[in-house]
Amino acid sequence: MKIAKGVLVALTLGAVSFSALSAELLTKEAYNDHKDQYVKVGSITTSGELSPSDAKAELSKKADELGGQFYVVTSADTENKIHGTAEVYKKK
């Protein structure tokens, strides 16, 4: 459980540079504080990534493909390789 929390923190705080059009990671707290401003557009997963920054990049790419502006990580697992799931949102 500590590892999964560590991955979530790393995903949240990872200093990876993305273009201005890439979907942004949104914390659960930020989403919950303003959930009436977002519309869910889908769910995404990533698996087999070797680092938190790779997982973050893959989730952002998949969120872009769904037309989302933001994604919220809902789970992460680091058994062998990184696996994560996220919900994708856009502003209303």
> What are 30-65's pLDDT values in tens digits?
999 999 999 999 999 999 899 889 999 999 999 999
Residue 86 has pLDDT above 60, yes or no: yes
Task: Indicate the pLDDT class of residue 8, thresholds 50, 70 and 90.
Answer: low
Helix and strand element counts for the chain (H, E): 3, 4
Give residue 80's pLDDT: 82
- Domains in the chain and their CATH numbers? 28-91 (3.30.1660.10)
Mean pLDDT for 8-35 is 72
Of 28, 5, 46, the closest CA to residue 89 belongs to 28
Of 32, 29, 23, the closest CA to residue 59 belongs to 23
Residue 3 has pLDDT above 80, yes or no: no
Whether pTM exceeds 0.85: no
